[in-house]
Amino acid sequence: MTKPLRVGIAGLGNVGCGVVKILQQYPDMIAARAGRPVEIVCVSARDANKDRGIDISAYEWLDSPERMAGDPRLDVVIELMGGAEGTARNLVERCLKAGKPVITANKALLAEHGLELAAMADSSVVPLLYEAAVAGGIPIIKTLREGFAGNQINAIYGILNGTCNYILTEMRETGRAFDDVLKEAQQKGYAEADPSFDVDGIDAAHKLSILSALAFGVKPDFSKVDIQGIRHITADDIACATQLGYRIKLLGMARRVADGRIVQRMEPCLVPEHSPIGAVDGVYNAVLIEGNFVGSSLLVGRGAGEGPTASAVLSDIVDVARHLDKPLAGRPVYGIPALELEDAVWGGPEDILAHFYIRLSVLDKPGVLADVTAILRDHKISVESVIQRGRSPDQPVSIILSTHESRQSDVVAACSGIADLDLVRAEPTVMRIVQF
């Protein structure tokens, strides 16, 4: 009989329980695809007495998940605890140093410590697999590392956070304000009690950093991702974008620009409503890849949740099982050995040419528009269209400008000057317009 793959699971949240359910409900299917049975030996989580809706009585409970690193019974450890530091990091590092394969869904850990972990995996000649860390049910890691191995990747664009995409979709479809929709998302379980990680763009930026390293063969550097979340987006922005034929999406971009520099940005953007990216609504994720031979390819699917993310973990389990007797030494974490990853030259706003959306809150007084356009002129920014929403001699009104192609650094500088005008009542809202 073929030797089973014996696994330990650290973390029994939604994803961990989802993995257990699949292995319990479909053992024969998984065994057929893995080439051997998959057996859960032990599990670990914060609370041994919590009712998780699954039967884990057949598995040994470990109060300390770090014990899995030295457990000779285990062929692979599955880390589903999350977090860039603490127990999760200790467990993964100990496993790799001990020569034990690791499967993880921990995007924060990979984005912030991925280079060191990749070097450990290379040194020990064991796999560190993480399909579940980015975009859940979309097989984007395997697609980049294997499916597009014959391409030079020029750009990646992604809707990488389902919570933000749900909020922006509901704001557009219902006309409600951000705070109201966020509260509903929390009630439905789409957003955490503390939603900062999602709505401030950090979760999605972690994922973008991982994709950049894979796509461009560079050392991952989360600190070089320019991040802006969606808290400042108003119902007025949504309505104006719709009027102009666009939808607002929290969009990640990793792109090669002049002289080989790489720009990484996570920020709300306007995209054409009838574009493939514009049509991705609700909790769905999407990743658009531009390769020199394949052209543009779009992958769409559920980006989070028990089922999609557990499914991604199972794909990595099958990979390890298929190569149990000959570890995946030829499949480095980021597609090439860690020592061969390049030091990227990171670009900034001065490297980005685009059309821009600018919303101003101003007092409706003579001369205000002339003052605004004078500042734009001084920064070599040409206005394409102007929309005024509302009319009041006493209350601020919104003026919406769209620009011709301009440098993002120039637009930011101009808006800083506009914010200082006496008749301007709030910081300008600026978003790139991205054409697909």
Catalytic residues: 207
CA distance 107 to 205: 9
Provide the residue count of the chain.
436
CA distance 252 to 40: 37
CA distance 168 to 175: 10
Q: Nearest Cα to 312, choosing from 109, 89, 129?
A: 129
Contact 320/75 with Cβ under 8 angstroms?
A: yes
End-to-end CA distance of the chain: 53
CB atoms within 10 A of CB 338: 19
- b/e code 288-308 from CB counts within 10 Å (16+ = b): bbbbeeeeeeebbbbbbbbbb
Residues 6+ apart with CB under 8 A from 26: none
Backbone dihedral angles phi then psi of residue 20, each to the nearest 5 degrees: -60, -45
